[in-house]
Amino acid sequence: MAETAQDEVVDLLVDLIRINTSNPTHPERPAAEWVAEKLDDVGIESQIIEAAPGRASTIARVEGADPSRPPLLIHCHLDVVPADASEWSVDPFAGEVKDGYVWGRGAVDMKDMDAMTLALVREWARTGRKPPRDIVLAFLSDEEAGGRLGAHYLVDNHAELFADCTEAISEVGGFSITLDEQVRLYLIQTAEKGINWLRLKASGPPGHGSMVHRDNAVTRLAETVTRIGSHEWPIVVTDTVRQTVKGLATVTGRDLDPEDVDSWMPLLGGAARMIGATIRNTTNPTMLDAGYKANVIPSKAEATIDARFLPGQEEAMLETLDSLLGEGVQREFLVQDIAVETGFDGPLVDAMAAALRAEDPAAHPLPYLMSGGTDAKSFSTLGMRCFGFSPLKLRPDLDFMSLFHGIDERVPIDGLKFGVRVLDRVLADC
């Protein structure tokens, strides 16, 4: 019997997890070559493009029935964040299968979508099926560090590969949130916050640690970091969040006011952790660096701030940040990238929603704004409408949001197979 996409998706994911692509210590080239081999096995030509030695992405194009139609882009990243094996209950790079899950770094972020996409296009190629329109596949490097050696590089230097694409799907969306046995929300990402990763620098005269020293760079920086980290950012309800709440009100039969966050946020269960970060800007201190000896007051101190802004809020956030900087503390950008937002409408959205309902009669698709960032930021600059859609039907007791960059990252096998079936329906109807 010919192997189907559902048959091989687990094996593909296991193999890919076992290729360590921790960014930046383990370049993606081995994974990019593995993807190219899997495509070549079924007659799909691809090319590998490096932005820097070893920092490789694999690009391919699957011919559709009507080449006159604008193609759909499916983009997935190959890199993962590092994992400390001592914190895990399994080897994070063993691709272990147990308890109905595939375990390992990248299982949900986002080698699951790599595997689902590969499994599906391989099955279609083996059976001679064609999508209604061309599909451009992009398996990308460097997403976890902002995409400068991945999507950004390709858009800046090889835009012709994607120039005729009008829509794209990728992470993070199409996953389920169980409200009860009869109702599951499936959040489809239509927007994401922008990124300002900032370095703060403070300077002052050095000195001996045993003496009175009132102009201390470390103290000045610490005071600024405390002000920024504890700042209470005001609630701002975007159009996307309003649509989410409107849909939630319809599903639950409740009268929900988008401005009254406490009335609807608890209904989202584990997803409230992420959605809660999409009603305000956020500025989290993440790194500190100062000094070289216990008894020496250093002349400089630095901190890193992970700042995320809502669509339309970047200027206001930076103005507030500047007001929180202490005297003698300067900021500079490490990574600066746009917010993205599109509507929850059109034939592709209809196809995604219909596919979810066909595979799960309890499905209620809703749009949402994601707190993190994806390679959609790059591809949206080419005029594409970008959606987060890596469909998974999740078990109600799984704390899905905690698995992103967390320990014991894992994805349910039945959820993977569900995702393959949903993607199959979408690509057949898009």
User: According to the model, what pLDDT value does residue 221 have?
Assistant: 95
Using CA atoms, how far residue 277 sits from 193, 257, 409, in Å, is 9, 18, 21
User: According to the model, what pLDDT value does residue 99 have?
Assistant: 95
Q: What is the pLDDT of residues 61-91, one digit of tens each?
A: 999 999 899 999 999 999 999 999 999 999 9
Reported as a pLDDT band with limits 50, 70 and 90, residue 1 is: very low
* 382 neighbors 168 (Cβ within 8 angstroms): no
Under DSSP, is residue 133 helix (H, G, I), strand (E, B) or coil?
coil
- Per-residue pLDDT at 419 exceeds 50: yes
Q: Where are the alpha helices (DSSP H) in 325-410?
A: 347-359, 376-380
Euclidean distance between CA atoms 389 and 369, whole angstroms: 13
Name all domains of the chain by residue range, CATH numbers in brackets. Answer: 5-190+340-428 (3.40.630.10), 194-258+277-337 (3.30.70.360)
User: What are the structure tokens assigned to 218, written together?
Assistant: 């470390």
Backbone angle region of 308, left / alpha / beta, with phi > 0 → left and psi within -120 to 50 → alpha: beta
User: According to the model, what pLDDT value does residue 2 have?
Assistant: 53
Euclidean distance between CA atoms 288 and 225, whole angstroms: 9
- Per-residue pLDDT at 181 exceeds 80: no
Whether the model clears a pTM of 0.85, i.e. scores above it, the answer is yes
Longest dimension (CA), the chain: 80
Using CA atoms, how far residue 6 sits from 97, 120, 265, in Å, is 16, 8, 35
Cα distance from N-terminal residue to C-terminal residue, the chain = 29
Of 71, 112, 135, residue with least CA distance to 391:
112
Q: DSSP assignment of 220-231, as one string?
A: HHHHHHHHHHH-
- Per-residue pLDDT at 271 exceeds 90: no
- Per-residue pLDDT at 270 exceeds 80: no
Of 342, 384, 345, residue with least CA distance to 239:
342
- Per-residue pLDDT at 191 exceeds 90: yes
Euclidean distance between CA atoms 121 and 116, whole angstroms: 9
Under DSSP, is residue 397 helix (H, G, I), strand (E, B) or coil?
coil
User: According to the model, what pLDDT value does residue 104 have?
Assistant: 97
Q: What is the pLDDT of residues 316-353, one digit of tens each?
A: 999 999 999 988 899 999 989 999 999 999 999 999 99
* 274 neighbors 399 (Cβ within 8 angstroms): no
* 215 neighbors 204 (Cβ within 8 angstroms): yes
